[in-house]
Amino acid sequence: MIRRPILPALLLLTGSLVAQTPRGTLVMAVRQEPVAPVPYIGPSTAGNADVADQLFLRLATLGSGARTTGDDALVPELAQRWIRRDARTVDFLLDPRARWHDGVPVSAADVTFAWDLIRTPVLGVDQAPYELIDSVLALDARTVRVRFRRPSAEQVYTAGFLLQPLPRHLIGTLPADSLGSSAFARGPVGNGPFRFVRRVPGSSVELRAVPDFFLGTPGLRRLVFRLIGSTDAQVNALLAGETDVMAEVPVTALDRVAARRDLRMVLTPGSFITYVLFNAKAPGNPDTEHPILAEQRVRRALALALDRSAIAERAFGPGTQTPAAVRSQAWYWVGGGQSSGAADTATARRLLAEAGWVDRDGDGIRDRDGSPLELGIIYPVQSSV
């Protein structure tokens, strides 16, 4: 799954409008407390990631279309450029202007250090995203060579976007199992457009802009991530002017937010997908076929009987798309194949009848061989669907 940072586009846009005159403070609500906003070290939560995205740069970042294939898909960050040596080798040349917030230059050793941490079992980093990488070597202070296990169109994305250097000179001697509770985790020293100022436990995290940031002065002087656990409370804080940004406004609040002239809603494609998964095996016995759902005609009939467009609009708001396949519109390679999502009850009835499911006793429930067509559904209690 591609996780796109929430704030960089906003900050870059603001910066381009105000040039070298940053504006004031932006307050954003987060559901999970950013207790250790450091890649690979802190818990893998959205709260940590949102803050870490402002503190720590990547070698390269996603472009506007979020394309992940091709050597030209990404935009330089810490790496000034990259050179393909062969089908399994790419060299990344670091920008000599890149600095940690303590003034030390970002080096190739910081990249190899991060790679070592990723592979350290005690940190529990998910290895699947990095499966393509075979080795990461420092050729000199500014050049990193990444060797891959096999040719792939996502080599630059895997190394450039997923590898986030960490300051070896600050934490390279600490035991790996102590990093998560270290002073560095509580007060990170990054290399991004904002530097860490303080965390008020259970309340907020404050960042301040780096005035001489090598990629350009940030468009804001100060960022505050405020911990607000419930969605309703986040909406109320936004409407009360206590916060400036809220991601994922719930459908129940869309009308209230849209009615405010001082607020602007921005609709963007999301990677979140909701779908119905049919269990073709008998409940509690995976070696036996399901008495109802094992038959393809029945599964197709049930899918056709659902008015997906109506469900999507009521659950997630107007404009929610119902693609022909289980895929996100945020994926860059998704093209056509848009489905109306409307129910086709006539075809659904025909398929059920062909499968032997008819209402024989007139009670309004289809049955076959004396058994009613009854199914249970499991869903998250917090699901808007």
241 Cβ contact list (under 8 Å, min separation 6): none
Amino acid at 11: L
Rounded average pLDDT per 10-residue block, the chain, 385 residues:
42 32 83 94 90 97 86 96 98 98 98 98 95 98 98 96 97 96 96 97 97 94 94 94 89 88 82 83 91 95 90 78 67 55 90 96 93 89 61
Alpha carbon distance, N-terminus to C-terminus of the chain:
22
Q: What is the CATH code of the structural domain delimited by 60-171?
A: 3.90.76.10
Distance CA 316, CA 109 (A): 45
The pLDDT of residue 1 is 35
DSSP 292-329: TTTSHHHHHHHHHHS-HHHHHHHHH-TT---BSSS--T
Distance CA 294, CA 96 (A): 61
The token pair that represents 203 in the structure block: 């309340």
Alpha-carbon torsion, ordered 39, 40, 42, 46, to 10 deg: 60
The token pair that represents 273 in the structure block: 């997908």
The token pair that represents 194 in the structure block: 């904002």
Strand, helix or coil at 259?
Answer: coil
The pLDDT of residue 378 is 86
Q: Which top CATH class is 25-56+192-258?
A: alpha beta
The pLDDT of residue 19 is 32
Which residues in the chain are classed under CATH 3.90.76.10? 60-171
Alpha-carbon torsion, ordered 366, 369, 371, 374, to 10 deg: -40
Strand, helix or coil at 51?
Answer: helix
Q: What is the CATH code of the structural domain delimited by 281-372?
A: 3.10.105.10
Q: Is 66 exposed, middle or buried (0-12, 13-18, 19+ CB in 10 A)?
A: middle
Which residues in the chain are classed under CATH 3.40.190.10? 25-56+192-258
The pLDDT of residue 385 is 56
Distance CA 378, CA 260 (A): 37
Which residues in the chain are classed under CATH 3.10.105.10? 281-372
DSSP 173-191: TS-GGGGGGSHHHHS----
* Alpha-carbon distances, residue 179 vs 35, 115, 162, 163, 183 (angstroms): 13, 15, 20, 18, 8
The pLDDT of residue 308 is 87
- Cβ neighbour number for residue 138 with a 10 Å cutoff: 17
The closest alpha carbon to 161, from 289, 290, 71, belongs to 71
DSSP-derived letter for residue 168 is H
